[in-house]
């Protein structure tokens, strides 16, 4: 397989499932839902935003030791901003959760769902592979771009309006994380041996699908199994994040 076809195949796999993320969010907010479903989604989303923070903070400490030696200072800066962005997403959504429930949820008491644990297992499975395969993991913020783009347009009441504003901030930041990681992936694709392509495609399929399945679970399954099967078969409007510049 040539490099361009490989990049196209990985991209198509993700953009189809990102169309699925978009549909999950627009379907969920298309009609009134029980408040418990919104709170359940917020609880999981808070976990997703905050549980990565200790690992990212440790990575910054580790990089400090190598700064301007093995670690490039621009990369260090990008990692630091990404850490701050996740904390901001957490704060925005935790504020909304607190205004709905009147209660605080301790960060360390947020819990993953069954599908979130499966997503983490998919990531771990490919964690020890080569740089190109691992770079496929950098496509993951694209699902965040799709879901936040859909969320930016929701309306209904005061909570939905606050959520839409939070989604706009999340959208802009996830788009810049995605664009940066996407560029790294393309560079690696051109530099890597074509024998690595098959495993990278396999990871792309598993990661894109599990991330989408998790998104549907997190919103209490607005898409029925029949619709999920259609999306698996590619019957969906793809979502491709716009170019940053």
Q: Indicate the residue among 23 and 49 with the shorter CB distance to Fe ion.
A: 49
Least distance in Å: CB of 210 to Fe ion? 18
Q: Indicate the residue among 89 and 182 with the shorter CB distance to Fe ion.
A: 89
Q: Indicate the residue among 3 and 113 with the shorter CB distance to Fe ion.
A: 113
Residues 6+ apart with CB under 8 A from 114: 217
Least distance in Å: CB of 89 to Fe ion? 4
Least distance in Å: CB of 145 to Fe ion? 11
Residue nearest to Fe ion (CB): 89
Phi, psi of 110 (to 5 degrees): -70, 145
Q: Indicate the residue among 89 and 209 with the shorter CB distance to Fe ion.
A: 89
Least distance in Å: CB of 43 to Fe ion? 15
Residues 6+ apart with CB under 8 A from 56: 79, 82, 83, 86
The residues binding Fe ion (CB under 5 A) are: 49, 86, 89
Angle 73-101/35-50 helices, nearest 10 degrees? 150
Q: Classify residue 120 by burial, with Cβ atoms within 10 Å: 0-12, 13-18, 19+.
A: middle
């Amino acid at each position: 397989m040539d490099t361009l076809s490989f990049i196209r195949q990985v991209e198509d796999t993700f953009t189809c499932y990102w169309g699925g993320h978009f549909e999950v969010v627009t379907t969920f907010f298309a009609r009134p839902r029980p408040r418990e479903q919104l709170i359940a989604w917020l609880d999981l989303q808070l976990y997703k935003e905050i549980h990565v923070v200790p690992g990212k903070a440790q990575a910054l400490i580790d990089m400090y030791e190598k700064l301007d030696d093995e670690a490039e200072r621009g990369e260090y800066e990008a990692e630091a901003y990404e850490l701050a962005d996740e904390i901001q997403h957490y704060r925005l959504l935790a504020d909304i959760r607190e205004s709905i429930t009147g209660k605080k949820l301790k960060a360390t008491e947020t819990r993953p769902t069954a599908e979130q644990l499966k997503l983490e297992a998919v990531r771990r499975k490919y964690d020890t592979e080569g740089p190109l395969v691992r770079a496929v993991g950098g496509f993951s913020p694209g699902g965040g771009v799709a879901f936040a783009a859909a969320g930016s347009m929701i309306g209904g009441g005061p909570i939905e309006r606050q959520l839409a504003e939070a989604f706009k901030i999340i959208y802009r930041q996830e788009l810049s994380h995605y664009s940066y990681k996407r560029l790294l992936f393309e560079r690696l694709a051109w530099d890597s041996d074509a024998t690595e392509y098959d495993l990278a495609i396999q990871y792309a399929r598993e990661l894109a699908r599990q991330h989408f399945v998790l998104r549907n679970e997190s919103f209490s399954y607005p898409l029925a199994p029949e619709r999920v099967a259609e999306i698996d078969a590619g019957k969906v409007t793809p979502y491709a994040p716009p170019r940053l510049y």
